[in-house]
Structure 1
Amino acid sequence: MSAEIGEQPAALEATLAGLLPMRPRIAQLAGGRKRVLLVARGSSDNAAIYGRYLAELHAGISASLAAPSVATLYDARVDLSDTLAICVSQSGSTTEIVETLEWTRRCGAITIAITNVEDSPLASAADLALITRAGIERAVPATKSYTTQVAALAVAMDALATSAGKKGLLDKEFSQIGDHARAMLATPAETLDAMAGALAEVDEVLTSGRGIAFGTTLETALKLEETCLRPVRGLSYADLKHGPIAIVDHELLTVLVAGPSGPTVPGLTELAGTVREKHSMVLGIGGDEEFRSACDLAVPGPDASEILAPLTLIIPAQLIVERLAHKLGLNPDVPRGLRKVTQTD
């Protein structure tokens, strides 16, 4: 896991180099489609949450996350003739995701696969496959496959923005992603160790965020759960205020994840103060200086725009989780009860 975290700058650069030239083809394929349906599970589902925000905020196209059981268990009849279905799977071999893609086509959708395996069933079944260049990922927890999926979704949504007549992202911003990843890998080890040490002292963890970085919040929670066997609840801070904040006390540690700027940062800064008043220790990832000052321990995120920060914002969390696993005497490469490819019905 540690080695694969370190491979992310090269993996992101290779993925963007391969996929950015495909934007005209993506735009042509999606021409006239008014909705985006995102299909995924696990870490890929957290990447898809980012894709949903980007579709609506950047491309101006309505987007939603699919419930695959509607296809695989109920075989519902749904009119998707105005829909672009984007199905995301690291292996491209999860039967449920492949079957859901095939169901969307039967319902009239145009389909795009995002996968790390070029000759996978998912890539073969789609109208167009966007192949990430993460390389073989041997550790069970997704690290470089996750960030390259987020990059692929950014490329796809930029193509949709262009086809909708909106301004696409500047290529200059994409060209800086590798450097942003390297900067995240250079996060001071002593701060990461201190944050991992704080997490090792508690049994209850809450993660919270909102907006474009919310998928990163949920991916942070998932990594803590699967790699460190910590029960973690990931919530939007809006949902947190609707009742669950009652559970926050000195026995619970709060991890807040924020983009570098944007309308969600003030609310997360306020939330940091609120949970500290309830005697919960607060760890912060990203945000601005005011946000980080409101936390007990914090690390900066990438010096990127809010819209592209999620491509690398997860890296400090990955580094913390890998350290925490070792502190707990766990093997981060092979979490208990998990396999690289998970099959669901």
Structure 2
Amino acid sequence: MTTTQANQPGALMAAEIAEQPQAWKTLLDNGTEAIAAAAARIVEYNPRFVQFVARGTSDHAALYAKYIVEISHQLPAGLVSPSTMTVYGAQPDLREVLYIAVSQSGGSPDLVQSVEVARAQGALTVAITNNESSPLSQAAELHIDVLAGAEKSVAATKSYTSELLALYLLLDRVRGGDGSLAQALPDLAAQVLDGDAHVREVAQRYRFAQRLIATGRGYSYPTAREGALKLMETSYLSAQAFSGADLLHGPLATVDPQVPVLAVVPAGAGGEAMIPVLERLAERNADVFGVGAADRIAGLAGGISLPAGVPDVLSPLLEIIPLQQLALHLAVARGGDPDTPRGLRKVTETL
């Protein structure tokens, strides 16, 4: 990056978006030993229930992992409300529970305290962070470093997708997998990144939007939520995310031609489940921009096609990249700097 480029608004976020293929390769090359050790301990523990605790962007990574556990492992899984422990002092019986904390910084006190309580109450605790010396990594029995490297932009990009990859590799290893399906991801991500110029044009189209809806189903629902968060924190849009099913249960009434909709429609079962949603959006004359399989986004107002042949469970790692690019370019087009969004800091500490 040249000095001129480094001084441009969004330069850090742009660089970190572009670093994702290398970040994933680093994790695939250097992180598997720690992942294998953690997986072996989980298999030995043999949990009957899995709980995830996270905040912000990492909460969407946890939601993605919740789908993996329920679908691939066929175990019940849930997302923890940390305030039950940190504000109300709850001390639930967590024997036979696998308790996974996900955090880019590993520094939020509520996550640390919840892991400490969970460990004391009998859970097997795992921290997944981008900081091996963080308080969260020290509080948990097991730690996995996502190895994304320093992330300086306030908006998390490479740390988010590295969390997704680490969670997939861990849960795949618990089931006896070897992570081979993920080996092609860095090269596929590079292909998706090549669509940046098109996404920049799309940003101009939505430059004056004041409200936006993002939607997806299954593994892609966390993508919709993360995409909406990125747009809120960088472009200050009022962006709401709904599962495709929930959108039809009421929020659809808020959609009109002036409210853009970002629809995540991959090739797998989640994308198939979105077809009736797209049909209802068409009835509303909605302006729908799709990210996903070429045949499923054909006929929409616009879209970004993803590489074919990617398993449903791994599609979220690629789906989010165009939405990260959109957040970046839309923020700059609206006169902002996504590296320093107003009122936000890189590490948010809550209780």
Aligned to 1:215: 222
Matching residue within 269, 280, 289 for 1:283: 289
Instruction: Give, in whole Å, the separation in 1 of the partners of 2:85 and 2:215.
Output: 31
Instruction: Give, in whole Å, the separation in 2 of the partners of 1:29 and 1:249.
Output: 51
Cα RMSD after superposing both structures: 1.4
Deviations 1:202-256 (A, max 9, x none): 2110001010111111000000000100011100011111111111112211110
Letter in 2 for 1:10: Q
2:186 aligned with 1:178: yes
2:56 aligned with 1:42: yes
TM-score of the pair, normalised by structure 2? 0.92
Deviations 1:293-319 (A, max 9, x none): 131100012431111111222111111
2:5 aligned with 1:5: no
2:153 aligned with 1:153: no
Q: What secondary structure does 1:285 align onto?
A: strand
Matching residue within 85, 90, 97 for 1:71: 85
Q: What secondary structure does 1:10 align onto?
A: helix
Matching residue within 295, 298, 303 for 1:293: 298
Letter in 1 for 2:256: D
Instruction: Give, in whole Å, the separation in 1 of the partners of 2:30 and 2:81.
Output: 30
Aligned to 2:27: 15
Matching residue within 340, 343, 350 for 1:337: 343
CA drift at 1:140? 0.1
Q: Does the 8 Å contact 2:264/2:271 carry over to 1? A: no
Deviates more, 1:23-32 or 1:44-53: 23-32
- Quickly say closer, same or farther: Cα 1:47–1:262, change in 2 above 3 A: same
Letter in 2 for 1:75: G
Q: Does the 8 Å contact 1:206/1:252 carry over to 2? A: yes
Q: What secondary structure does 1:103 align onto?
A: helix
CA drift at 1:188? 5.3
Letter in 1 for 2:231: L
2:152 aligned with 1:142: no
Deviations 1:155-210 (A, max 9, x none): 12112222xxxxx2x53322111111111111151x21232122213211000101
Q: What secondary structure does 1:307 align onto?
A: helix
2:283 aligned with 1:264: no
CA drift at 1:113? 0.5
Gaps of 5+ in 1: 163-167
- Quickly say closer, same or farther: Cα 1:61–1:300, change in 2 above 3 A: same
- Quickly say closer, same or farther: Cα 1:314–1:151, change in 2 above 3 A: same
Moved over 4 A (4+): none
Aligned to 1:56: 70
Letter in 2 for 1:252: V
Instruction: Give, in whole Å, the separation in 2 of the partners of 1:188 and 1:73.
Output: 44
CA drift at 1:73? 0.8
Q: Does the 8 Å contact 2:86/2:110 carry over to 1? A: yes
CA drift at 1:23? 4.0
Aligned to 2:252: 245
Aligned to 1:29: 41
Q: What secondary structure does 2:88 align onto?
A: coil
CA drift at 1:270? 3.0
Letter in 1 for 2:20: Q
CA drift at 1:26? 2.0
Instruction: Give, in whole Å, the separation in 1 of the partners of 2:318 and 2:275.
Output: 21
Instruction: Give, in whole Å, the separation in 2 of the partners of 1:20 and 1:56.
Output: 23
Identity %: 37
Instruction: Give, in whole Å, the separation in 1 of the partners of 2:280 and 2:205.
Output: 19
CA drift at 1:87? 0.4
Letter in 1 for 2:335: G
CA drift at 1:62? 1.8
Instruction: Give, in whole Å, the separation in 2 of the partners of 1:279 and 1:200.
Output: 20
Q: Within 5 Å, which residues of 2 pair with 1:303-314?
A: 303=308, 304-314=310-320
Q: What secondary structure does 1:336 align onto?
A: coil
CA drift at 1:283? 0.4
Instruction: Give, in whole Å, the separation in 2 of the partners of 1:181 and 1:245.
Output: 32
Aligned to 2:115: 101
Gaps of 5+ in 2: 1-12
Q: What secondary structure does 1:308 align onto?
A: helix
Q: Does the 8 Å contact 1:258/1:265 carry over to 2? A: yes
2:133 aligned with 1:133: no
Instruction: Give, in whole Å, the separation in 1 of the partners of 2:40 and 2:146.
Output: 20
Q: Does the 8 Å contact 2:55/2:103 carry over to 1? A: yes
Aligned to 1:165: none
Deviations 1:37-86 (A, max 9, x none): 10100000001111000112122222111111111111213111111111
Q: Aligned residue pairs: how many?
A: 336
CA drift at 1:146? 0.4
